[in-house]
Structure 1
Amino acid sequence: MSRSYLEKILRARVYDVARETPLDFASRLSARLGTPIWLKREDMQSVFSFKLRGAYNKIYNLPEKKKRQGVIAASAGNHAQGVALAGKRLGVPALIVMPTTTPPIKVQTVRNLGAKIILHGDSYDDAYEHARTLVKEKGLTFVHPFDDPDVIAGQGTVATEVLRQHEEPIEAVFIPVGGGGLIAGMAAYIKRVRPEIKIIGVEPEDTPTLHHALQAGRRVSLKQIGLFADGVAVRQIGKETFKLARDLVDEVVLVTTDEICAAIKDIYDDTRSVAEPAGALGIAGIKKYLQKKKNRNKPGSLISVLSGANINFDRLRHVSERAELGEQREALFAVEIPERPGSFLSFCRLLGKRNVTEFNYRYFDDKRAHVFCGIELSDGSEERDNIIERLQGRGFGVTDLTDNETAKLHIRYMVGGHAPQVKNERLYRFVFPERPGALLDFLSGLTRGWNISLFHYRNHGAAYGRVLVGVQLNKAEAGEFRDYLRELGYRYHEETGNPAYQLFAGAG
């Protein structure tokens, strides 16, 4: 089978719209991991994805009658752009069915490329079924996103470039997997030309389409799929792509959302480009692979296909929040401390000069307090274990929440609430220069016996740290505290009258 695909790939017509993208050396990541790592930059295509290769090759090879009748596709993203661009270049009418939930910016991008758009259904599956219905009604040709020999051959041209650009030894190529078009095409070429190179697919743990199919020896349909890496959110691998993958793929690596976010950051550090989650799968897979294959025999270069960069801007905050966890550079703990003045300071002194990334606390009763905190790590899980041991040795109860999905997604933002038993609480918002140990320095000043009843701090990597503090002060203490704030020298604002505080966190 790979012989026939070799010919199809070599004959594929893609460069009317595609460019030969560079194979960039990831110098920072290579130095850190001790292995030469290269990025195949398909994010640098005009539509920021490899998808235009297969779409153009498919439409180009249609009979003239089919071209005149037009083509149709179902997609909410990269495939839609590829089909629209191919149709525009070839003068072929293109109709794209997109879910009604597609972000407006993606709809407008496809429309700008000259395609007509129908919004239908709430999911890709709804759009797909409607597109198949329109194929029969309108006599259009359906351009499948992955399960088509011409599409597979077009995607396989990525492999021809990789092997031409890197003639030195290659240990493995890491390829994102959704429906399987990219990995099938690349594997068909690489295994025919340089069979010693490993083909490794990478999938999210919550969408193991190819992984489960290889285990079962047949295609399986996933009941649920993850949506974070939406570029590979496919319930079932294609028939044709699975035939190829079953024979040619050496291994599939599964990665977590946090590991994908860490990979997006790794790519940014080396290229200053922001990959979409699916596009960063290859780098996440390389890191997971290296953790397991520490004693590799005569290793060569590892190559990751950076398949796309169509990421919504509003996702970047989530990526940033989770990247440090994925890199094991942040630990999350719930810590029980005695409810008495000075407890915060004792706790922070035990952490030393480690950077505190988050600190949430709200008074509940006069016996003990639970603090939700994030600690920056430099040595991964071993350092995390050392911190837990040290805190427990000093009598603090510690629960490790680093791998707790509910804690990471929700609880960290819900710590607090009203505290009706707290009297004479005043609320202050502070801004101070951010540096390692800044929080400890700040708390060291609050040692005059005032009771802290609310505390929230989150380090966002900015030049200034921001802290919200509730302090119990009677009338006599209030003046003394204001004098102290002037001595402290940090910018601050009193927020006791803020309606957000009164409605959601106010004391008695």
Structure 2
Amino acid sequence: MAAGLERDGRKFHIVTPLLESMALSKAAGTKVYMKLENVQPTGSFKIRGIGYFCQEAAKKGCKHFVCSTGGSAGFATAYTAKKLGIPATIIVPMSTSQVTVRKLEEHGAEVEVFGKVWDDAYVKALTLAKTDGWVSVHPFDHPLIWKGHASIVRELKDSLGCRPGAIVLAVGGGGLLAGVVAGLQEAGWQDVPIIAVETKGADSFNAAVRAGRLVTLPDITSVAKCLGAKTVSARALQCASECQVISQLVEDMEAVQAVEQFLDDERLLVQPACGASLALLYTGCIQQLQREGHLNRDLDSIVLIVCGGSSIQMAGLQALKTQLGMK
């Protein structure tokens, strides 16, 4: 099956819709287009890069995939592995919900719970990957994964026909950021600003940018667990020197409020990691960045990458609101 796949794994991911949002445009003060990665077969953009990585590994004789993840990367690995007819083991940290564990098992994967945060699960995955024929699928840090994610920008170029004024995305370990930068470089759009958003408590990229070097957080305290890499990838930090990457932080409560507002506005339920980038628009940060000179005052359009909603349900949203003391 692998031999017949296209060069960017297109047998696994779909070309996602690019839709204008009236509500987000009003909030941001300029036209906002939503790149709806939440409608991918596995619920997030991760299927682009991981689908491509697994496709290439299958060509080289992989007999078993192992992936450490808090959710979205695991769904992408399990889905792709099933399509390729290759077993998959997903290692999840203890912070992962039972709903996510059950959904991963329904995708046909074997699931093992290990460690407090993703970094712990990753060490376990690397140990298992020493088994002959097993391949570790990193959730965000591999050139093939970035190459797969770059397909987002190719689709944007086809849909828009001209470069957007800015791209807003959430950053966790940095895979999406690295993929978008690769896509912008391929398209000749290196001058398009990227606004990379994290929640406080999962802000390893912001810490690295401020320090000018990789920084390991002592712990992940944010509710946006899909952003929970204690150390961002080296490539993500490098991207900040190659393109205009503006690092921004939002509060957990702002991210969760944005998830709820987005559900009302667009009838789409996304996870708090995606809520972080939504919160940037809803809270007026775009206008603040324009006032401060970081963005053009005559910004004609923004593309918001709606990165995913594979690990959220209404009960989970209500639990997060309760945890944060929200009504």
Would the TM-score normalized by the shorter structure come out above 0.5?
yes
Q: How does 1:330-369 map to 2 (within 5 A)?
A: none
Alignment of 1:74-153 (within 5 A): 74-153=68-147
Corresponding residue of 1:302 = 302
Q: How does 1:415-454 map to 2 (within 5 A)?
A: none
Does 1:181 pair with 2:175?
yes
Is 2:205–2:236's contact at 8 Å kept on the other side of the alignment? Answer: no
Q: How far apart are 1:78 and its partner, in Å?
A: 0.6
Contact 1:40/1:305 (8 A) holds in 2:
yes
* 1:208 alignment partner, one of 203, 206, 221: 203
1:311 maps to 2:312: yes
Of 11, 23, 35, 1:16 maps to: 11
Cα 1:121–1:206 shift into 2, 3 Å: closer
Q: Distance in 1 between matches of 2:121 and 2:76?
A: 17
Cα 1:195/1:95, change in 2 over 3 Å: same
Aligned equivalent of 1:246? 241
On the 8 A contact 2:223/2:320 being kept in 1, the answer is no
Q: Which amino acid aligns with 2:39?
A: M
Change (3 A) 1:261 1:103: closer
Q: Is the 8 A contact 2:271 2:308 kept in 1?
A: yes
* Equivalent position to 1:166, from 160, 169, 173: 160
Please give the secondary structure, in 1, of the residue aligned with 2:230. coil
**Deviation per CA, 1:378-430, whole angstroms, max 9, x where unpaired?**
xxxxxxxxxxxxxxxxxxxxxxxxxxxxxx74xx9xxxxxxxxxxxxxxxxxx
Q: Which runs of 4+ in 1 moved over 6 A?
A: none
Aligned residue for 2:250? Answer: 255
1:73 matched to 2:67: yes
- Alignment partner for residue 216 of structure 2, among 218, 221, 224? 221
Contact 2:157 2:163 in 1 (8 A): no
Q: Percent identity?
A: 27
Report SS of the residue matched to 1:17.
Answer: coil
Aligned equivalents of 2:299, 2:168: Cα separation in 1: 15
1:281 positional shift: 2.0
For residue 51 of structure 1, what is the amino acid of its counterpart? Answer: K
* Alignment partners' CA distance in 1, 2:41 and 2:22: 25
Distance in 1 of aligned mates of 2:7 and 2:221: 33
The match for 1:42 among 37, 45, 52 is 37
Write the letter of the residue equivalent to 1:288: C
Does the CA contact (< 8 Å) of 2:146 and 2:178 recur in 1?
Answer: yes
1:203 alignment partner AA: E
Per-residue deviation at 1:101? 4.6
What is the distance in 2 between the residues matched to 1:116 and 1:59?
Answer: 17
Structure 2 match to 1:289: 286
Name the aligned partner's letter for residue 194 of structure 1: W
Please report how far the alpha carbon of residue 233 of structure 1 lies from its aligned counterpart in structure 2 after TM superposition: 1.0
Return the letter of the residue paired with 2:84.
Answer: L
Q: Deviations along 1:156-199, whole A, 9 cap, x unmatched? A: 11121122212245210011100100011111211442233111
Cα 1:103–1:206 shift into 2, 3 Å: closer
Instruction: Select 1:264's aligned residue among 259, 263, 276.
Output: 259
The Cα of 1:318 is off from its aligned counterpart by 5.5
CA contact (8 A) 1:66 1:141 kept: no
Task: Give the equivalent residue in structure 1 for 2:192.
Answer: 197
TM-score, length-scaled by structure 1: 0.58
* Residues 224-265 of structure 1: per-residue CA shift (max 9 Å, x gap): 223311111110111233333432242111111122123213
The equivalent residue for 2:3 is: none
User: In structure 2, how many angstroms separate the alpha carbons of the residues matched to 1:107 and 1:26?
Assistant: 33
Q: Which fold has the larger relative contact order, with Cα–Cα distance below 8 Å and residues 6 or more apart in sequence?
A: 2
Whole-angstrom distance in 2 between the partners of 1:136 and 1:204: 34
Offset of residue 131 of structure 1:
1.3
Task: Evaluate the alpha carbon distance shift between residue 321 and residue 125 of structure 1 in structure 2; reply closer, same or farther with a 3 A threshold.
Answer: closer
Q: CA deviation at 1:29?
A: 2.6
CA distance in 2, matches of 1:291, 1:73: 39
Give, in whole Å, the separation in 1 of the partners of 2:54 and 2:171: 23
How far is the alpha carbon of 1:125 from its aligned partner?
2.7
Q: Equivalent of 1:276, from 271, 274, 278?
A: 271
- Which is higher, the Rg of structure 1 or of structure 2? 1
Question: Where in structure 2 are there 5+ consecutive unaligned residues?
Answer: 1-5
Residues 201, 249 of structure 1: 8 Å contact kept? no
Structure-1 separation of matches of 2:139 and 2:249: 22
Q: Secondary structure at the match of 2:260?
A: helix
Contact kept, 8 Å, 1:209 with 1:222, in 2: the verdict is: yes
- Structure with more of its chain in strand, by fraction: 1
3-state SS of paired residue (1:24): strand
The 1:102–1:258 alpha-carbon spacing in structure 2 relative to 1, beyond 3 Å, is closer
Question: Per-residue deviation at 1:63?
Answer: 5.7
Task: Compute the displacement of 1:321 (Å).
Answer: 7.2
User: Taking structure 1 as reference, are residues 205 and 126 closer, same or farther at Cα in structure 2, changes over 3 Å only?
Assistant: closer
In structure 2, the residue corresponding to 1:293 is in which secondary structure?
Answer: helix
- Partner SS for 1:173: strand
Q: Deviations over 1:315-335 (max 9, x none)?
A: 32256679xxxxxxxxxxxxx
| Contact 2:223 2:272 (C-alpha < 8 Å) held by counterparts | yes
- Give the residue type in structure 2 aligned to 1:218: R
Go from structure 1 to structure 2 and tell me whether the alpha carbon gap of 1:206 and 1:120 turns closer, same or farther (over 3 Å shift).
closer
Amino acid at match of 2:287: L
